[in-house]
Amino acid sequence: MKVQSRISAYLKKMGISQRSVCEKTGIREDAMSAMLNGKRKMTADEFEKICLALEKSPNDFILSDQEVTV
């Protein structure tokens, strides 16, 4: 599972809207949607902003073959 898919799954699991993450990170909604749907690559800077907004460690989304931790 790719990092974008793990982030998307975490947002759904926690009931967090993409819009709220966009508001916290300054990432445009269309860009966030494209990233999380695998239509656009996520930059390291965007990944860092998303992790900070969600108060999660990057490792929480990088771990391979493990479910996203809450």
Please write the tens of the pLDDT for every residue from 17-69. Answer: 999 999 999 999 999 999 999 999 999 999 999 999 999 999 999 875 555 55
- Exposure string of 19-57, with b = 16+ CB inside 10 Å and e = fewer, is eebbeebebeeebbbebbeeeeebeeebbebbbebbebe
Domain membership of residue 7 as a residue range: 3-62
Whether 47 maps to a domain, the answer reads: yes
Predicted confidence at residue 63, as pLDDT, reads 76
Predicted confidence at residue 22, as pLDDT, reads 97
Whether 57 maps to a domain, the answer reads: yes
Predicted confidence at residue 31, as pLDDT, reads 96
Whether 67 maps to a domain, the answer reads: no
Whether 69 maps to a domain, the answer reads: no
Whether 8 maps to a domain, the answer reads: yes
Predicted confidence at residue 69, as pLDDT, reads 55
Structural domains counted in the chain = 1
Whether 68 maps to a domain, the answer reads: no
Query: Which CATH number is 23's domain given?
Result: 1.10.260.40
